[in-house]
Amino acid sequence: MRLVDYLDKGAQLGADAPCLTMGETELSYAQVQRISWRVARGLQRAGIRPGDKVAVLSGNDAYAFSAVFGISRAGCVWCPVNPRNEAGENAFVLDAFDCACLVFHGSYAPMVEQMRAQLSKLRVLVCLDRPQPFAPSLGEWLDGLDEQPFDVAPPDDLAMIAGTGGTTGRPKGVMLSGRNLETMSALTLMGYPFPARPCYLALAPLTHAAGVLCLPVMTLGGRIVIMPKPDLGEFLALIERYRVTHTFLPPTLIYMLLEHEKLATTRLDSLQCFWYGAAPIAAARLEEALEKIGPVMAQLFGQTEAPMMISMMPPREHFHADGTVARRRLSSAGRPGPLVQVATMNDAGELLPAGERGEIVVRSSLVMAGYYKDPAATAEASRFGWHHTGDIGYLDEDGYLYIVDRAKDMIITGGFNVYSVEVEAVLMEHPGVQDSAVIGLPDDKWGERVVAVLQPRPGCTLAAEEVIAFVKSRIGSVKAPKQVEFWTDLPRSKVGKVIKKEVRATLLGKDD
């Protein structure tokens, strides 16, 4: 299936059914189809050919997402551009991915103006909502084009090129094929509960996980409610208003939601599947979510190179058969999906037995086609015939996957390996800790010392000595932090992950 096939499948189930809802805007499946036909014709008229790369730079927006299906229908490749990136990084992405056309929202016109002189490959610019001195509005650009069905065969199966996070260097272009996205959608539909017509609430960026999770919803003719801005009060109101069945939030926002004053009074009984992922979640806070939100929490683990569904934990697996919370399991990333092979591997390429820690490796049609124009990075990621995730973990005897750290975040202190995620999990059990980041810093005595940077919960005062003693009593002195810092907030990526590179740089600068 191509991207546009998910839209057409939903339209077959009911052309007049609501497809995309955003504020007062409500587009049916038939209306989104008509937009996609016109956008595809517009691309052809502008000289954009099948196989060309077309970028979309916008926040969460119903018309921007509709345009994605027009890009697919024209046989082109969708390149989502993260609006939260700086202009320099987005200019790099547009150039490196050979984008010939950019569709952008007017709120990002200053960024586009700043970038466009550097982008010689960019032939066509279109502004979604209003004309710019250097670009027509979408309405002007589509003028004179009819709404009749239109379709162009793509030259190959490449559906999209997604940039990696860029927190550890220049973003790489992950080539995701129609087969990759079809596998992801199949795994989603197999692994999680779905009613006949689900309603999915998208608060997280559609350029990331929230976007591709729309695809399986559309195959069932479901409604997608789009939030242009993150507002947890509005998020709760929309769940109640639209009887939302599915949604996704990263752990950082879940922690904030658990503290929200409206949570206890919001009707949440429509929820069937509240996905969480994109970063580790503290088991203690997950158990709190099961109590306050309900038995609907659903984990997913993936990465851009193998989207979303490497391993899964549907709501029922958060509990034992007798209905009690499966506390140990809450620290896992679920079990590998039915169309995914997962193993752990040592540096010599040998697969490891259950319980033994190594790099998590994957085989599946979920795994990307490769990095765009980067054969060396592609070869490095696919050593020994497996995709290498860069995560350290192990599989237990029941097949549950436990992620203990990113390989680059492991701390070697006094000759012992300390996994930062393990220390963070303990810190998150402290009632006064809202969020945490654990890193290693150079130390004359230990080689590296364990350093914890904590964001206290609102109204809580913490002492370093108390925190160190708390960790020491649970996992011992080797893993306990030697240094504790308190910050009002932690630096985060566009999807809510704590950027440890920035934490480390700040603390190193402080030491200088």
pLDDT tens-digit map of 214-250: 999 999 999 999 999 989 999 999 999 999 999 999 8
Q: Grade residue 400 by pLDDT with cuts at 50, 70 and 90.
A: very high
- Rounded to whole angstroms, the Cα distance separating 398 from 329 reads 10
The pLDDT value recorded for residue 291 is 96
pLDDT digit string, tens, across residues 331-343: 999 999 999 999 9
Residue 359 has pLDDT above 60, yes or no: yes
- Phi, psi (deg, nearest 5) at residue 507: -70, -35
Of 76 and 206, the one with more pLDDT? 76
Of 204 and 161, the one with more pLDDT? 161
3 state DSSP class of 183? helix
DSSP states along 443-504: ETTTEEEEEEEEEEPTT----HHHHHHHHHHHH-TTTS-SEEEE-SS--B-TTS-B-HHHHH
The pLDDT value recorded for residue 417 is 74
Pairing mode, strands 483-486 and 273-276: unpaired
Of 317 and 167, the one with more pLDDT? 317
The pLDDT value recorded for residue 277 is 87
The structure tokens listed for 332 are 């896992």
CA distances from 36 to 96, 104, 274 (A): 26, 16, 30
Q: Which element (helix H / strand E) includes 102?
A: strand 99-104
Contact 27, 204 (CB under 8 A): no
Reference 295, options 314, 281, 310; nearest CA is 314
The pLDDT value recorded for residue 83 is 86
- In order of their start, the domains of the chain are 29-156 (3.40.50.980), 180-406 (3.40.50.12780), 410-511 (3.30.300.30)
- Please, is 385 exposed, middle or buried when counting C-beta atoms within 10 Å of its C-beta (0-12, 13-18, 19+)? exposed
The pLDDT value recorded for residue 165 is 65
The pLDDT value recorded for residue 405 is 74
The pLDDT value recorded for residue 168 is 44
Contact 341, 367 (CB under 8 A): no
- Rounded to whole angstroms, the Cα distance separating 21 from 199 reads 10
Residue 72 has pLDDT above 90, yes or no: yes
Q: Grade residue 265 by pLDDT with cuts at 50, 70 and 90.
A: very high
Q: Grade residue 509 by pLDDT with cuts at 50, 70 and 90.
A: confident
- Tokens 């932090």 -> residue: 481
- Rounded to whole angstroms, the Cα distance separating 177 from 401 reads 26
- Tokens 């929230």 -> residue: 210
The structure tokens listed for 39 are 């956008």
Q: Grade residue 495 by pLDDT with cuts at 50, 70 and 90.
A: low
pLDDT digit string, tens, across residues 127-156: 999 999 999 999 999 999 988 999 999 999
* Other Cβ atoms closer than 10 A to 380: 11
Q: Which element (helix H / strand E) includes 437?
A: strand 433-443
The pLDDT value recorded for residue 512 is 47
The structure tokens listed for 23 are 């504020």
Residue 511 has pLDDT above 60, yes or no: no
Strands (DSSP E) contained in 5-63 are 18-22, 25-28, 53-57
Q: Which element (helix H / strand E) includes 114?
A: helix 109-115
pLDDT digit string, tens, across residues 294-316: 999 999 999 999 999 999 999 99
- Rounded to whole angstroms, the Cα distance separating 298 from 191 reads 10
Q: What is the DSSP letter of 319?
A: B
**pTM score, whole prediction:** 0.84
What does the H/E/C string look like for 478-494?
A: CCCCCEEEECCCCCECC
Q: Give the residues across from 340 on adjacent strands.
A: 364
Q: 481-485: long-range contacts (C-beta < 8 A, 24 or more apart)?
A: 481/423, 481/438, 481/449, 481/450, 481/451, 481/452, 482/443, 482/446, 482/449, 482/450, 482/451, 483/441, 483/449, 483/450, 483/451, 483/452, 484/451, 484/452, 484/453, 484/454, 485/451, 485/452, 485/453, 485/454
The structure tokens listed for 223 are 């409604």
Residues in Cβ contact with 472 at an 8 Å cutoff, skipping those fewer than 6 apart: 480
Contact 467, 484 (CB under 8 A): yes
CA distances from 309 to 58, 168, 217, 295 (A): 25, 23, 15, 20
% of the chain beyond a pLDDT of 70: 98
* Mean pLDDT over each residue of the chain, to the nearest integer: 92
Q: Grade residue 167 by pLDDT with cuts at 50, 70 and 90.
A: very low
Q: What is the DSSP letter of 373?
A: T
The pLDDT value recorded for residue 410 is 76
The pLDDT value recorded for residue 284 is 87
Of 170 and 366, the one with more pLDDT? 366
